[in-house]
Chains A and B, each alone.
Chain A
Amino acid sequence: MKTVKTIGINSNQPVGRGFNFPYDIAINDDLGKSRIIYLLNRPNSATRLGTRIQYFTFEEEWIGEFGNPLDDDEAKFTRPVTLDFNSKNQLHVTDEATDEIKIFDSDGNFQRFIKLDSDSHRNSDQFGPAGIAIDSDDFIYVSSRYLNVIQKLTSEGRVVTEWGGAGSGPGEFEMPWGMDVDAQGNLYVADWRNDRIQKFDSEGNLLHIFGESGVAIGQFNRPSSVAVDTNMNIAVADWGNERVQILDEGGSVLNVLEGDATLSKWSHEWLDVNLDEREARNRADLKVLDLPEHLKNSYHEASQTEHKFWGPVSVKFDSDNQLYVTEHSRHRIQVFEPVNLK
């Protein structure tokens, strides 16, 4: 799969353009104008300063941001995790610290929140909503990192059904994270600490388990996110292995992506006014992989080069089946051509 483009640039400022430890994105193709990307930043664990959602076009035209802890209102985030749109272009954002799903309109105006309840459970006093996926009927699926369950909610937040529980058996979870719903309404869950993807129907019946622990092709190391395109190809953010694996509907591996970043528009703009760095950069070989033995693993290779994925935490498809890989430790999005495109 060829790279289409790279989006973004790092910024350590708590406001304004540029990413800082991006954690997830949502893509809105339905606003009658340019494709708009909503990106969640989660920098600075100590202060949460800079945690916010930024939105911009596919062409890297900056639009705005919201949810900043500096804004002392109910829109602000504490420990947000994932985001998704419903059919009404309402952005839903999980916050695992406050047990809430916060809901915004497409201009970032806070509308309401859904409070998730852990009262009926004994093993934790927190729900810890991590992943979210919304189906075509606006049912909301949310994964709980503390209770190890999936809840299906109405758009108003009423619990329709729930399944799972802590464990490594079929249908059980250990700290589940990202999710997606396919065109047939089936749910895919990144069962993070079990190193696998589990597929369920809309009632929670287990249909398939993909992968196991490991570094070989078809194995996963802490998969954080999963996305399904309209052809039922499955992209898995194999987070701990610093790669993305593409599976077909039956689970066979079609492709393994390790990243091939280019300079984004914002990066070019920055280098154009920092000529010393641009010139030194042009003389460098940032793809060098002749590493000492102790650094020969995916994490260190990613950290020592620039083009490879480093912290590929989120995968998403747009309506054209282009794949977006968000890397928290390289502060950017790499966009790839659709699967199987010749």
Chain B
Amino acid sequence: MVSTSTELIIHLMNRAGFGITPDELDACSLMTYEDLVENLLNPSESSHISDDILFRDHVDLHASRSGVPAYWAYRMISTQSPLEEKMSLFWHGIFATGNSKLNNLRTLLNQIEMFRRSGTGKFDDLLIKLSQDPAMLIWLDNQDNLNESINENYGREILELFSMGVGNYTEDDIKECARAFTGWSVANSEYMSLMAQKDSIWPYGRIVWHYDFKPGIHDVDNKEFLGEAGPFNGDDVIRIICNQEATARFIARHMYNFFVADEVPVPQWKDTPPKDPAAIDTLVEAYFKYEHDIKSVLRVLLTSDFFKESRYQKIKSPVELVIGTLRLSGEYNDDSKVDSSIFGVIAESDYMGQALCNPPSVEGWHTGEEWISSGALVDRVNFASQHIGNPDNDGVKHILNRIHADLKNDTHTIGELIESCGNSVGITRVSGDTADGVLDLFTQEEVQTNGQDTDIAIEDDTILRVLEFMVSSREYQLC
């Protein structure tokens, strides 16, 4: 039986990262839980696969014409700072921006890089950067938001989906908010939005966008917003938004949903109380105590009892499942493993319901049980068993060697093999159903079994079959 601290480490790395390999677990086991959390929050260096190698081998990634999900996947698989990527994924799901409308993946990648830089800073600063992010501005039509003729799209969504949630503001607040963001636009907005609409690459490829404030179309008049009055601009509006308790609750619930336990989809939050109101209160308190600093709220969350006790209460998102599996299998994780097959591999996440850079709407993805349909489940199981069942993958070879080393004798019980294989793929509590399934596997192959105490020869093929079964199990779908 593994120790509690090992279980906690695996739990932490599942949620704040993309799982953990056996070697990483060994290294983490030498640290206290608190130090581990600090290392995640304050990584010493963002080490990952090299851009120059990627761009030399996949030259089309240089301009990010296509393949940004693959580029991001390389980063998520190879990073030594997994929380940085996890937070980028977190904000990508909330501030959901899709290339289906932008037709400018490099600009969208700049947004993701902004999440990487600013995703754990002060929420006010993040919202300002988001409101000046050219991908977001075009996504929600703010280039058409003029003092003479406002476009409410961004003003509405920043309140409804990005900060406060439905029911905490009025329709008038939306209009006043939109007025404050008039003139927040992109350079050459007419030409850039036309190229986006027409999906034009002519004459010389896509031109990436940058923020441009246009004072001539900004509404400088007085505004009344959430009970305050003044000649507000976007910065003022964001300051007011970030001081609202509704904002703290909304962000706290998102963080709970992403890191702790699956909640109902966002549209139901207005009518459905949080799963753990006390946990939300704790996070709200931290939000104000630490002056809206997301990293501080994360620290409170990751060291809380409600987090530590939430094991197996989340269904892995497709990206978490795909990236976690590839980190385990040891594919695409260093400069020598750059390979064009990654484009097809990351597309598997699309088939499971999560296409990076193309969320289904501005509302982002619905999470939890909504990840699981019969088709998606088959894809998830096939994907994991295919990659973990391939002994040519370096990570799998390493797992095989470790299991052989752990189980020093040639013969062990099926129960010992199940436990060792489970631990190797991050499953610390193998269910009775899964264990019975392994026994059935052996029975089908005409091995005489008498329960988990039956002795069995420890050979590569045997280990691989059990590993494949483990990553096909219900436990592996959860984290």
Contact among B52, B57, B187, B344 with A46 in the assembled complex (CB-CB below 8 Å): B344
**CA–CA, A329 to B117, complex, Å?**
25
A210 within 8 A of B: no
Selecting from A62-70, A82-90, A262-270, the interface stretch reads: A262-270
> How distant is A98 from chain B, measured CB to nearest CB, in Å?
14
Selecting from B164-172, B176-184, B202-210, B431-439, the interface stretch reads: B202-210
Q: Which positions 94-111 of chain B face chain A at CB distance < 8 Å?
A: 106, 110
Q: Are B59 and A311 in contact (CB under 8 A)?
A: yes
Chain A residues with Cβ under 8 A from B212's Cβ?
290
Chain B residues with Cβ under 8 A from A193's Cβ?
52
Q: Which positions 31-62 of chain B face chain A at CB distance < 8 Å?
A: 52, 56-62
Q: A45-B57, A45-B61 are in contact. Are A277 and B208 (CB under 8 A)?
A: no
**CA–CA, A242 to B246, complex, Å?**
46
> How distant is B45 from chain A, measured CB to nearest CB, in Å?
18
**CA–CA, A274 to B201, complex, Å?**
12
Chain A residues with Cβ under 8 A from B56's Cβ?
175, 177, 192, 224
For chain A, the bracket of interface size reads 35 or more
Chain B residues with Cβ under 8 A from A177's Cβ?
56
B289 within 8 A of A: no
- Kindly list 5 other residue pairs between chains A and B, CB separation below 8 angstroms, not including A283-B191, A290-B212: A10-B205, A45-B59, A276-B194, A286-B207, A329-B62
**CA–CA, A103 to B198, complex, Å?**
40
A257-282 interface bits toward B, Cβ cutoff 8 Å, 1 = contact, 0 = none: 00001011011001100101100110
Specify which of A42, A261, A281 lies most central, judged by the most chain B CB atoms within 10 Å of its CB.
Answer: A281
**CA–CA, A274 to B198, complex, Å?**
11
B22 within 8 A of A: no
Question: Which residues of B are in contact with A by a Cβ distance under 8 Å?
Answer: 52, 56-63, 65-67, 70, 106, 110, 114, 117, 132, 187-188, 190-192, 194-195, 198, 200-205, 207-212, 340, 343-344
A220 within 8 A of B: no
Selecting from A53-61, A150-158, A298-306, the interface stretch reads: A298-306
Which residue in chain B gives the minimum CB-CB distance to A269?
B203
Chain B residues with Cβ under 8 A from A264's Cβ?
203
Q: Which positions 1-59 of chain A face chain B at CB distance < 8 Å?
A: 9-10, 12, 21, 23, 42-46, 48
Q: Are A21 and B60 in contact (CB under 8 A)?
A: yes
**CA–CA, A192 to B335, complex, Å?**
15
Q: Which positions 112-139 of chain A face chain B at CB distance < 8 Å?
A: none
Which residue in chain B gives the minimum CB-CB distance to A264?
B203
Chain B residues with Cβ under 8 A from A342's Cβ?
none
Q: Are A311 and B63 in contact (CB under 8 A)?
A: yes
> How distant is A327 from chain B, measured CB to nearest CB, in Å?
8
> How distant is B454 from chain A, measured CB to nearest CB, in Å?
43
Chain B residues with Cβ under 8 A from A305's Cβ?
207
Which residue in chain A gives the minimum CB-CB distance to B197?
A276
Contact among A224, A267, A303, A311 with B207 in the assembled complex (CB-CB below 8 Å): A303
Chain B residues with Cβ under 8 A from A224's Cβ?
56
